[in-house]
Structure 1
Amino acid sequence: MNIFYHELKAYRKSTIIWTISLVAIVMLFMSFYPGFSKDTEAFKKVMENYPPAIRNALGINLGNLVSILGFYCFPLSFITLCGAIQAMNLGTSIISKEVREKTADFLLTKPVTRTTVLTAKMFAAFASIVITNIIFIAAASIMAFQVKTDDFSFKIFIMLSLTMFFVQLIFLALGFIVSVSGLKLKSVLSVSLAVVFAFYFLGMFSDTTGEKVKRYFSPFKYFDNTYILKHASFEASFLVVGAIIIIAAVAASFMIYTKKDIHAV
């Protein structure tokens, strides 16, 4: 438990900065909605000139753009990208930092097992992500009610907002795998950015082909905002795949970490 609180405190500043940044982005974009709702046709004409793949990558659906939920999907695509970077960076750094900072041997001489250490660190990372999402969803909800011009489904709004949380969980788990892999990471952020943007561009590529099977290669495409708006539900097959990735990554992280050699200083 001491390890959990220590890690939570160590990443407190990072969590606060990321949370404030995500809240600022959603508040900025949502503040544009009242003015946008008065002249949607002009914006639609501009967006019609963009290829469908680009519009999909930006979270723009011309049919739903008039409503506040459809408009919310636009900034949500950028916010999810930022959230994925936060989660990947956190998952990668929270375990590998012991090797980078040469404190691994000190930590492992304590009367705790490696499983306990890894569990505490994972829960601390998970708690940071949960805190970020609670504050973000609360701020986004307040802003949506402030700028709305018509009634909207709050249930769907929450479902759309939760897509960032689910994507973050996947990248957090991938970050754990990278952190225990034994690679000497000189810069955690550069690795996190490379992985996240690689998956993001894979998602954009899947949009150009329109093939559903290619969506499985990018976590960013596991949650289709248009599908959520239409059916008020998530696509079960992608939820299952996402859960499998998380479980497999966490399980593999435990297996690798408990058996790997930790070099002393």
Structure 2
Amino acid sequence: MNIFFHELRAYRKSTIIWSCSLVLIIALFMSFYPAFANDAEDFQKIMEGYPEAIRNAIGFNLGNFFTILGFYCFPLSFITLCGAIQAMNLGTSIVSKEVREKTADFLLTKPVTRTKVLTSKLFAAFVSIVITNIIYLVVTMFMVFQVKTDDFSVKILILLSLTMFFIQLIFLAVGIMISVIVPKIKSVLSVSLTTVFAFYFLGMFSSTTGEEAKRYISPFKYFDTAYIIKHSGYETSFLVAGAVIIILAITASYFVYLKKDIHAV
């Protein structure tokens, strides 16, 4: 429990910064909605000039863009990118920071098992992500109610917002696995940015081809906002795919961490 609270305190500044950043992004974007709604017809003519492949790549859906929920989906794609970077940073630093700061052997001399160490660190990172999502969701709902020009489904708004949380869980698990497997990570940020942007651009590429199977390549495409708005739910096959990635990554992390050699300073 002491490890958990220590890690949570260590993530406090990062959690505050990421939460404030996401809140500012959504507040800025949603403040533009009334202007877009008033000039919907003119703006739609402009966007129709862009190729459909480009519109799909950036998550732009002409069918519902000028509704409050459709407009919200546009900044959501960038917000989930930021959220993924936060989660990847947390996951990658869970074990690697002990090696980088040369405190790994000191930590493991304490009367706690490796399982408890990794579990406490993992739970602290999870709580940090939960706090970020709660703050983000509260501010998002407040902003949407402030700028809405027509009625909307609160349930769908929550479902759309939670896509960031699910994507964060996937990248948190992947980050933990990388942190455990790679012997020494000199820069957590460079690893996080490279991994997240690689999957993000793979997701954009899969959208341009229109092939359903290629969506499984990138977690960013596991949650189709148009589908969520239309069906008020998620696609089961992609939820299962995400859950499998999380389970396999975390299981592999525990397996490797319990058996790997920790070098003394």
TM-score exceeds 0.5: yes
User: Is structure 2 residue 176 aligned with structure 1 residue 176?
Assistant: yes
Matched to 2:162, the amino acid is L
Partner of 2:231: 231
- Rounded to whole Å, the distance in 1 between the matches of 2:182 and 2:85 is 21
Partner of 1:79: 79
1:34, distance to aligned residue in structure 2 (A): 0.9
- Superposition pairs of residues 62-211 of structure 1, within 5 angstroms: 62-211=62-211
Q: Give CA-to-partner distance per residue, 1:177-201, whole Å, 9 cap, x none.
A: 1000133211100000000011011
1:56, distance to aligned residue in structure 2 (A): 2.0
1:3, distance to aligned residue in structure 2 (A): 0.4
Which deviates more from structure 2 when the two are superposed, residues 38-47 or residues 140-149? 38-47
Partner of 2:24: 24
- Rounded to whole Å, the distance in 1 between the matches of 2:177 and 2:201 is 21
- Rounded to whole Å, the distance in 2 between the matches of 1:86 and 1:54 is 27
Contact persistence 1:59–1:76 (CA under 8 A): no
Matched to 1:11, the amino acid is Y
- Residue 3 of structure 2 aligns to a residue in which SS? helix
Structure 1 unpaired stretches of 5+: none
1:51, distance to aligned residue in structure 2 (A): 2.2
- Rounded to whole Å, the distance in 2 between the matches of 1:203 and 1:182 is 25
- Residue 183 of structure 1 aligns to a residue in which SS? coil
1:19, distance to aligned residue in structure 2 (A): 0.3
1:94, distance to aligned residue in structure 2 (A): 2.0
- Rounded to whole Å, the distance in 2 between the matches of 1:53 and 1:28 is 27
Partner of 2:41: 41
Paired-residue identity, %: 74
Matched to 1:233, the amino acid is G
Structure 2 unpaired stretches of 5+: none
Partner of 2:250: 250
- Rounded to whole Å, the distance in 1 between the matches of 2:167 and 2:11 is 20
Which deviates more from structure 2 when the two are superposed, residues 42-51 or residues 100-109? 42-51
- Rounded to whole Å, the distance in 2 between the matches of 1:177 and 1:53 is 34
Contact persistence 1:177–1:252 (CA under 8 A): yes
1:52, distance to aligned residue in structure 2 (A): 2.0
Q: What TM-score do you get using the length of structure 2 for normalisation?
A: 0.99
Matched to 2:42, the amino acid is A
1:42, distance to aligned residue in structure 2 (A): 1.7
Matched to 2:98, the amino acid is E
Q: What TM-score do you get using the length of structure 1 for normalisation?
A: 0.99
- Rounded to whole Å, the distance in 2 between the matches of 1:6 and 1:89 is 17
1:59, distance to aligned residue in structure 2 (A): 2.0
- Rounded to whole Å, the distance in 1 between the matches of 2:131 and 2:123 is 12
- Rounded to whole Å, the distance in 1 between the matches of 2:182 and 2:198 is 21
- How many residue pairs align between the two structures? 265
- Rounded to whole Å, the distance in 2 between the matches of 1:57 and 1:79 is 15
- Rounded to whole Å, the distance in 1 between the matches of 2:263 and 2:117 is 16
- Rounded to whole Å, the distance in 2 between the matches of 1:251 and 1:210 is 33
Contact persistence 1:53–1:204 (CA under 8 A): no
Contact persistence 2:57–2:205 (CA under 8 A): no
